[in-house]
Structure 1
Amino acid sequence: MKVPWRRVSSWHCSACGKCCREYRVPLTFGEYLRFKKLGLVEEKRKFYLRKINGKCPFQIGNICSIQDKKPIVCKLFPFTIRFRGNDDALYWYGDEEYYVYIDVSCKNIVFGSPTKSLKERINEAIELFNGLRTRVHLLQCLNC
């Protein structure tokens, strides 16, 4: 389930690996070209990474082995960014408006009033979403 960002106080990645095991990874066209040799799953004109033994083929233990090259949806997790949505999901980045949702299935979501740290993570997610950055800093496990 996804909730508007305003309902979340904070989030951090603890590298539990749950997101790599439990979610399908939809690919952009560029990612499709990069990963197609691994074998993909096609469903309704969308391509997904094929899981091996129930987990992402790049997951070693609980850690992603291709951190900087992983698909954008993985870099953004647990954030989802849209151009339309509910008013309580509205987030201003500069003079641009986005609608930001957070997947609460992640065990490290803390509900409450949004902290500065959460807003910094949202800013990074929007920069990734817009292609303004490719490397992840705040959205990955900081102690890994």
Structure 2
Amino acid sequence: MADTDQVSDAIIAEAESAAETLAQVKAEIAKAVFGQDRVVELALAAVLAGGHALLIGAPGLAKTRLVEAMGTALGLANQRIQFTPDLMPSDIIGSEVLDESPSGQRTFRFLKGPIFTQLLMADEINRASPRTKSALLQSMQERHVTVAGVRH
């Protein structure tokens, strides 16, 4: 019985600590994004659950600012991709480049694209070509990319 009480107390203490940390994160985000508490809560829930969120709204409603503030408050690396009709899949996932060593040996090296970040703001996805959208959605679903037959 005593062991069960100790475990319960430890779980309660850990939950209270997590709730306190979450409140601090919300307060930090609230300094940058005003009057959108529900949006902030739902976006944090998506990030903490390891999922994705689709932010829809008129221009000027602080969608980009929210993502930047979340990245700062959570200590996550974040990137923003502005989707345009001429954006190629390699522009978001990365590509291989040919390197030449001083001895003259040539090898391919993978340069990671902006998708390799902890928090990504993909802006105006509707403007992208179907191939580029497919590259984004595939990497979101599979949580990796494959370039030249190599998984990254």
The TM-score range, normalised by the shorter chain, is: under 0.3
TM-score, length basis structure 2: 0.25
Determine which structure has the larger helix proportion and give its number: 2
TM-score, length basis structure 1: 0.26
Bigger RCO of structures 1 and 2 (CA < 8 A, at least 6 apart): 1
Determine which structure has the larger strand proportion and give its number: 1
